[in-house]
Amino acid sequence: MSRISENQLILPALYLMDISPNKTILIADMKKALYDIFKPTGEDNEILHNRQDTRFAQKAGNLKSHNTLVNLGYAVYTPKVADERSGRFTLTEAGKAFLDANINIVNYLLNNDFTSEDLKESFDVVFSDPKRAMTIETFDEDLTINEGKKKVVKTAVYERSDKLRKKAIDHYTDGGRIKCKVCCFDFEDFYGDHGKGFIEIHHQKPVFMFADEDLEQKIEDAIENVMPVCPNCHRMIHRTRNNPLSFEEIKAHVRNDLDFCDNEN
């Protein structure tokens, strides 16, 4: 587990300003919203010596005390006035431009259901090269549920995700059958022909790539981070928002006397 860094918070902070009325947000509110987005755990959530705050809150506060956002030209700082609880940040045109250039990946990471650790790692990748990040292409999961929405999802995202889905089904099909990796439910076994090939593909980690990367290779690499699951297990994995269960965690909740379902696969 890596500790939260200030850089990982920059794009989410700009995003929060952008969705606030008049593109301005109290720093106290921004810190709280960042906390809600990242749901920090472990060391990030430890209270630091001689301080009232967690390490995470301190890093979020550094966006102000280190003048990080102001020095980058992405925000203007206005000190606390009258009865306000704190000073505020207002998004600048440069901040808005930087956010817009990276908005696809920001939307993907913030609007899906990823762990704190995955968010930190992903924002590190994105911020390491903001120019290249502008070309990031994302993948969606839940294509089975969202089949009806297919037309409104950008075709490129749909096609990319479908390719990953098909490769994953291929990979996890055994003896012509695909089963839920968690509870071993087999739709064909239960529903006959009507259930043949039915399964959802859960992304255990965010799947995205830079445009100059090779799609086939990316999919190859992503296979071990996706898994076939039935809709029931899928919902259970995502039951607590921003805290999806790992394979081991969901498996630990499943009755262990199901003799048709071993823990080997």
Interaction site with Zn ion (CB under 5 A): 141, 180, 182-183, 185, 202, 230, 233
User: Smallest gap, in angstroms, from Cβ of residue 36 to Zn ion?
Assistant: 20
Of residues 2 and 246, the one with the C-beta less far from Zn ion? 246
CA distance 197 to 194: 9
Of residues 15 and 139, the one with the C-beta less far from Zn ion? 139
CA distance 222 to 229: 16
User: Smallest gap, in angstroms, from Cβ of residue 262 to Zn ion?
Assistant: 14
Of residues 203 and 218, the one with the C-beta less far from Zn ion? 203
CA distance 30 to 36: 10
Of residues 20 and 204, the one with the C-beta less far from Zn ion? 204
Residue 17: HSE in the Cβ half-sphere, 13 Å Cα cutoff: 26
CA distance 152 to 206: 21
End-to-end CA distance of the chain: 26
CA 182 to chain centre: 21
User: Smallest gap, in angstroms, from Cβ of residue 229 to Zn ion?
Assistant: 6
User: Smallest gap, in angstroms, from Cβ of residue 162 to Zn ion?
Assistant: 16
Of residues 182 and 207, the one with the C-beta less far from Zn ion? 182
Of residues 120 and 202, the one with the C-beta less far from Zn ion? 202
User: Smallest gap, in angstroms, from Cβ of residue 125 to Zn ion?
Assistant: 20
- The phi and psi torsions of 89 (rounded to 5 degrees) equal -110, 140
- Cite the DSSP H helix spans in 91-153: 93-101, 103-111, 116-128, 130-133
User: Smallest gap, in angstroms, from Cβ of residue 235 to Zn ion?
Assistant: 9
CA distance 146 to 22: 34
